[in-house]
Amino acid sequence: MTNELHIDYVFEDPERQALIDAFLDLTVNPYKMYPAFREQVRGIATHLPELRRLRDFIEYTRSISAYEHPFLFLRNAPLDPELPDMDIVDPVFDKYRKKKTFITEGFLQLFADLAGQYPIGYRNVNDGDVFQDIFPKEELKHTQSQKALGPIYFHKDLANHFVRPDYVNILGVRSSDQNEILTTFVSNRDLLENLTPNTKRDLRRQAYHTPYDDLTTKTGNVKLGEADTHPVYSGTYDLRYFENRTKGLDADATRAIDELLALAHKHKKRVLMRPGDFVCIANNLSLHGKEIGQIRSTTEQLRRWSMKTVNVYSIAPYAKHIVRGTDYLING
């Protein structure tokens, strides 16, 4: 079983059970009334004594450099005791019909709140749901999106969107050890410390183009037009890149991203995400993806399920992009 990330925290069984019991008491559906759901979860966070160790751990992680440590890996996180099987034709709608408890969603919200993160939704992704599924969908199974059945190449979420998440949090819900489906990670630090000076210079040129992500363009409610050209490397640490989608517009730019990609695969870490595995990803300080190895059960491949949130440090800088009447929904 592949696990190349350092394990930072393992929930003790009493902690896990206390959270499950608390989240079973949630009475608000997060897909119908997200703000009210968020407030119920915050009430739990305030009063649950079993959260002390988790609070101390998260407080510690907020004091360390996200550039040095862009991934936090937790195990044995709480999950719903009963999980529905979903139709891949329209899995989100099937989830709305069948999922009656919201423990997974509660934990994702709780962690974000404790970590000082602010979950957001996009009108172009699952009609604005904050809690999104990494689950195959027939219409999108051959795309580079969270609905893909096949591999997803190295990227950061919504890299050329006008509201780019600071963190992407992923919780493994269902998987099978029979199948080699590996989530991949590489830090900007490992890339930037190994790129040649000439390549860094070329990556800073406005000589690259990345189309908007498949989920936004193929299922979107808001038309975004054509993505602008951009540098791959900007600021001190920022890399804006999607493997096999970001294209250099001249020979030097193409050579530069070829070097970047080779380094990404040289330094990557891989994890077979099992139920209860949770990864907090500093989205702007790393790249992540999905690799497919040997598949021994196509049935289980079609049932593999993770859930995620995308989060910003603060919603205030994005006020002009928020759908009127909400405090979390991005108009795009």
> What are the DSSP calls for 199-239, one per residue?
HHHHHTSS-EE-PPPHHHHHH-SS---PPPEE-SEETTTEE
Does 277 fall in a domain?
Answer: yes
Q: Which residue has the tokens 């195959």?
A: 136
Does 189 fall in a domain?
Answer: yes
Q: Please give the pLDDT value at position 159.
A: 85
Task: Please state the pTM of the whole predicted model.
Answer: 0.93
Nearest to 134 by CA among 309, 305, 312: 305
Does 2 fall in a domain?
Answer: no
Does 324 fall in a domain?
Answer: yes
CATH number for the domain spanning 258: value is: 3.60.130.10
DSSP count for the chain of H helices, then E strands: 10, 17
Does 264 fall in a domain?
Answer: yes
Instruction: Write out the chain's pLDDT in tens, 332 residues.
Output: 689 999 999 999 999 999 999 999 999 999 999 999 999 999 988 889 999 999 999 999 999 999 999 999 999 999 999 999 999 999 999 999 999 999 999 999 999 999 999 999 999 988 899 999 999 999 999 999 999 999 999 999 998 789 999 999 999 999 999 999 999 999 999 999 999 999 999 999 999 999 876 555 455 555 545 678 999 999 999 999 999 999 999 999 999 999 999 999 999 999 999 999 999 999 999 999 999 999 999 999 999 999 999 999 999 999 999 999 999 999 99
Which CA distances in Å does 86 have to 91, 103, 135? 5, 17, 9
Q: How many domains does the chain have?
A: 1
279 alpha carbon, distance to own chain's centre: 8
Does 166 fall in a domain?
Answer: yes
Nearest to 86 by CA among 73, 74, 95: 95
Does 56 fall in a domain?
Answer: yes
Residue 154 structural domain: 9-330
Does 76 fall in a domain?
Answer: yes
